[in-house]
Protein backbone atom coordinates (compact mmCIF):
# COMPACT_ATOMS: atom_id res chain seq x y z
CA UNK A 1 0.00 0.00 0.00
CA UNK A 2 1.44 3.32 -1.05
CA UNK A 3 1.25 6.29 1.24
CA UNK A 4 1.29 9.89 0.14
CA UNK A 5 4.45 11.79 0.87
CA UNK A 6 4.17 14.76 3.14
CA UNK A 7 5.35 18.12 1.89
CA UNK A 8 8.60 19.25 3.49
CA UNK A 9 8.16 21.67 6.36
CA UNK A 10 8.79 25.31 5.57
CA UNK A 11 11.96 26.64 7.06
CA UNK A 12 11.74 29.28 9.74
CA UNK A 13 14.63 31.19 8.17
CA UNK A 14 12.34 32.41 5.39
CA UNK A 15 10.02 33.89 8.01
CA UNK A 16 12.90 35.48 9.91
CA UNK A 17 14.30 37.04 6.72
CA UNK A 18 11.09 39.02 6.16
CA UNK A 19 11.51 42.61 7.33
CA UNK A 20 9.73 43.45 10.56
CA UNK A 21 6.98 46.06 10.43
CA UNK A 22 7.73 49.30 12.22
CA UNK A 23 5.52 49.98 15.22
CA UNK A 24 3.50 53.11 14.98
CA UNK A 25 3.22 55.00 18.26
CA UNK A 26 -0.19 55.25 19.86
CA UNK A 27 -1.49 58.81 19.41
CA UNK A 28 -2.80 58.89 22.99
CA UNK A 29 0.70 58.36 24.37
CA UNK A 30 2.23 61.00 22.11
CA UNK A 31 -0.30 63.74 22.96
CA UNK A 32 1.35 66.55 24.94
CA UNK A 33 -0.15 66.84 28.41
CA UNK A 34 0.23 69.72 30.87
CA UNK A 35 1.53 68.61 34.28
CA UNK A 36 -0.05 69.81 37.51
CA UNK A 37 2.01 72.21 39.67
CA UNK A 38 3.07 69.31 41.94
CA UNK A 39 4.24 67.23 38.96
CA UNK A 40 5.80 70.27 37.27
CA UNK A 41 8.18 70.58 40.24
CA UNK A 42 9.69 67.25 39.16
CA UNK A 43 9.38 67.11 35.34
CA UNK A 44 9.05 70.78 34.37
CA UNK A 45 6.05 72.90 33.43
CA UNK A 46 6.16 72.43 29.65
CA UNK A 47 3.57 70.09 28.10
CA UNK A 48 5.07 66.65 27.48
CA UNK A 49 3.85 63.30 26.13
CA UNK A 50 2.98 60.72 28.79
CA UNK A 51 6.02 58.63 27.84
CA UNK A 52 8.38 61.56 28.43
CA UNK A 53 6.78 62.33 31.79
CA UNK A 54 7.39 58.75 32.95
CA UNK A 55 10.97 58.89 31.66
CA UNK A 56 11.69 62.14 33.50
CA UNK A 57 10.17 60.68 36.66
CA UNK A 58 12.58 57.74 36.46
CA UNK A 59 15.52 60.09 35.91
CA UNK A 60 14.50 61.99 39.06
CA UNK A 61 13.97 58.77 41.06
CA UNK A 62 17.35 57.35 40.10
CA UNK A 63 19.20 60.66 40.57
CA UNK A 64 17.85 61.01 44.11
CA UNK A 65 18.23 57.27 44.90
CA UNK A 66 14.55 56.85 45.79
CA UNK A 67 14.24 53.16 44.88
CA UNK A 68 13.93 50.95 47.94
CA UNK A 69 17.16 49.05 48.58
CA UNK A 70 15.45 45.81 49.57
CA UNK A 71 12.80 45.84 46.80
CA UNK A 72 13.74 47.83 43.69
CA UNK A 73 10.12 47.79 42.49
CA UNK A 74 9.15 50.13 45.32
CA UNK A 75 9.71 53.89 45.14
CA UNK A 76 10.15 55.94 48.30
CA UNK A 77 8.55 59.38 48.06
CA UNK A 78 10.54 62.46 48.99
CA UNK A 79 9.08 65.94 49.62
CA UNK A 80 8.44 66.56 45.88
CA UNK A 81 6.93 63.14 45.15
CA UNK A 82 4.70 62.83 48.22
CA UNK A 83 2.02 65.26 46.84
CA UNK A 84 1.97 63.26 43.59
CA UNK A 85 1.85 59.79 45.14
CA UNK A 86 -0.19 60.64 48.22
CA UNK A 87 1.75 58.16 50.37
CA UNK A 88 5.29 57.38 51.47
CA UNK A 89 5.94 54.43 49.15
CA UNK A 90 4.42 53.18 45.88
CA UNK A 91 5.21 50.35 43.48
CA UNK A 92 6.55 51.20 40.07
CA UNK A 93 3.41 49.65 38.55
CA UNK A 94 1.02 52.01 40.31
CA UNK A 95 3.22 55.06 39.63
CA UNK A 96 1.86 55.56 36.09
CA UNK A 97 -1.73 55.52 37.38
CA UNK A 98 -0.94 58.06 40.07
CA UNK A 99 0.80 60.33 37.56
CA UNK A 100 -2.25 60.15 35.30
CA UNK A 101 -4.20 62.10 37.91
CA UNK A 102 -1.69 64.97 37.64
CA UNK A 103 -1.80 65.61 33.89
CA UNK A 104 -4.37 67.36 31.71
For the chain, the domains span 31-100
Q: What is the mean pLDDT of residues 5-11?
A: 63
Contacts of 102 (CB under 8 A, 6+ apart): 35, 36, 38, 39, 84
* Model confidence pLDDT, tens digit, residues 48-73: 999 999 999 999 999 999 999 999 99
Q: What is the pLDDT of residue 20?
A: 73
What does CATH list as the number for 31-100?
A: 1.10.245.10
Which has the closest alpha carbon to 42: 54, 33, 31, 30?
54
Are 76 and 67 contacting, i.e. CB atoms less than 8 angstroms apart?
Answer: yes
Q: What is the pLDDT of residue 102?
A: 94
Regarding predicted confidence, which is higher, 34 or 9?
34
Distances, alpha carbon 71 to alpha carbons 20, 28, 78, 79, 91, in Å: 36, 31, 17, 21, 9
Indicate whether 83 pLDDT > 90. Answer: yes
- Ordered alpha helix ranges (H), 5-101: 12-17, 27-30, 37-43, 50-63, 82-85, 92-100
Amino acid sequence: MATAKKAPAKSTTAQAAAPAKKRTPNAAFMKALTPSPALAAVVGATPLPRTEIISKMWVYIKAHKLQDNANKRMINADAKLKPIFGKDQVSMFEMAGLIGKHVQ
